[in-house]
Structure 1
Amino acid sequence: MIKFFRKIRQNLLSEGKTGKYLKYAIGEIILVVIGILIALSINNWNEHRKNRILEQEVLKDLKEEYVLNLSQLEQKIDMRNAIIQNSIDVLNYVDNSEFDVNRDTLIHKIRYLGLDPTFDPIQNDLITSGKIRLVQNKPLRKLLSSWTSDILALQEMELQWQTLKTDLNIPYQISLGIFRDMVHSSYESSGRPIYLVEKNNDIDGRLFVGKSQKTPSSEKILQNAQLESMMANAIAQCHSTNMQALALKKRIELIIDLLNKEIQK
């Protein structure tokens, strides 16, 4: 094709038809430019198509991750609700000391202070890998970009509970002389342990430790000066943390909703 155009130009020059040559040259340039533009357009279209395929793969992976994150977060919220409810029950026992409270029941409820509901979500590499650019939906891209900071806000509150549990709750339970009974209560019953994320009924969490022969009576436990404050503190800490967790839950649900809409396009 190049030789063909070159031959035409040479014939025009040899015949002295300079004007026709210039017109032809301009036309040839226009054709070349059009050809380049078409090639670029095809290349851009192909690149766009590849990016959209990659985007769908990324969106589907993200949906799977956030569904798992939502499930884990809900489980942590349930754990804190269990701490709150059992702490309220203990406070009711303290306020109504005339009731005959079963010692095993009381210890079973106090042991919830030893739970550690810490959210540990799947972290994607969208930002560091540059894959965030593949997500076309701007609101979704913004939510994904702020995900790390959203997690940190919750984890800072969870750290306060971890510190309280380690520095106050466990030492108190040991000094009160109920820790062995708490361990026994935690592992003697059958069923799925509350701290397991996967609802696998094949996991047997039972472990026989045996009750202590020196555990104080229910009356003595309820008369302990620190018990009321510990239960109230646990309620306050877990409630405020759950407020943050519920806000994050709504954020995850919004992300999943946007992901579903983008995947269905």
Structure 2
Amino acid sequence: MIKFFRRIRKTLFSENTPGGPSGKFGKYLLYAIGEIALVMIGILLALQVNNWNEQRKADKAESKALVALKNEFELNIERLEFICAERDSAQEDRRAHYDIIANDTIPIETKVRSNVKGYFGGRWAIQNTVLNGLVNSGAIDNIKNDSLKTLLTLWPNMVQRWIAAEDKYNSLKERMQDYERTRLRQGIPNRLNDKRGYTFKDSWEQYYSRKAFIVNDLEYQNFVASDIEMLYQQSIICNRIMQNYNQIITALNSEIQNRKIK
């Protein structure tokens, strides 16, 4: 390209254009101006090529990040969906249990037989390696979709709300377990064998007596009510996280489809 411009310049100098510079000084001046123009054109072309290369690299890195983000979010939500389903089921079970023990018209025998089911109480083992890497490195600013970028920056706050709710709920569970351990799970230790140690086993009469006490105990009823309330709050947070996730995954899929990323 530079050689092409240079040939044109030499052709112009070799011609005697009317009104053009005359003498050696004029020719040198035109020659110098031409050289400067050629250098400027060369610099601009080099900068343009460099910008194209840098943009191509940035686009490639962004495409790779979009796919990695999609995979990470889908894995995280798969785990959360399972946990939330378990918590919703536990909430329904505890509401039914509370309706029985808090009703003074229901016979004590029915209250004693009422129990809450066990459920998966694990934590949400969320992995935000890709997102955290983009945020910490500043590479998240390279994402051109402003709506997607805003949703991604809001995601950590949603996660922290869930973690805080989990911590609060686990604290309640520990207190409730301590309550039941001291008031219900008692009895005379029976030696099983040297390896397994001791087990505690009550007679039905002992268990019935203790269970009849706690189902009518206001402290126990408050524990169950708090359990329900915290499970309900987690359900609300879970729904909001799912809404945020659906918006993020829709934006990611749109970007990946528009870029024709495989």
Q: If the length of structure 1 is used for normalisation, what is the TM-score?
A: 0.73
Residue 23 of structure 1 and its aligned partner are, at CA, apart by 1.0
Structure showing greater relative contact order (alpha-carbon pairs closer than 8 Å, 6 or more residues apart): 1
By how many angstroms is 1:221 displaced? 5.1
Once the two structures are superposed, the pairs formed by residues 88-103 of structure 1 within 5 Å of their partners are 88-94=95-101, 95=103, 97-98=106-107, 101=110
| Kept in 1: contact 2:111–2:212 (CA 8 A) | no
How far off is 1:147 after superposition?
2.3
Which has the larger share of strand? 2
Partner of 2:18: none
Q: Which runs of 5+ in 1 are unaligned?
A: 181-208
With structure 2 as the length reference, what TM-score do the two structures score? 0.74
1:18-167 equivalences in 2 (<5 Å): 18-94=25-101, 95=103, 97-98=106-107, 101=110, 106-107=114-115, 109=116, 111-112=118-119, 116-124=121-129, 125-166=133-174
- Give the counterpart letter for 2:124 in structure 1: F
Q: Which amino acid aligns with 1:151?
A: V
- Give the length in aligned residue pairs: 224
Q: CA RMSD in A?
A: 3.1
Structure 2: any 5+ residue segments left out of the alignment? Answer: 15-21, 188-197
Q: Tell me which moved more, 155-164 or 58-67.
A: 155-164
Determine if contact 1:65/1:122 at 8 Å carries over to the other structure: yes
**1:150/1:248 contact within 8 Å kept:** yes
Say if 1:31 and 1:214 are closer, same or farther in 2 by CA, change over 3 A: farther
- From 228, 237, 256, give the equivalent of 1:263: 256
Mapped to 1, the partners of 2:82 and 2:154 lie a distance apart of 23
SS of the equivalent of 1:17 reads helix
Q: In 1, Cα distance between the equivalents of 2:186 and 2:94?
A: 17
Which protein shows a greater Rg? Answer: 2
Taking only the aligned residue pairs, the percentage that are identical comes to: 27
Output one character per residue of 1:187-208: Cα deviation in whole Å (capped at 9) or x when no partner: xxxxxxxxxxxxxxxxxxxxxx
In 1, Cα distance between the equivalents of 2:218 and 2:24?
Answer: 112
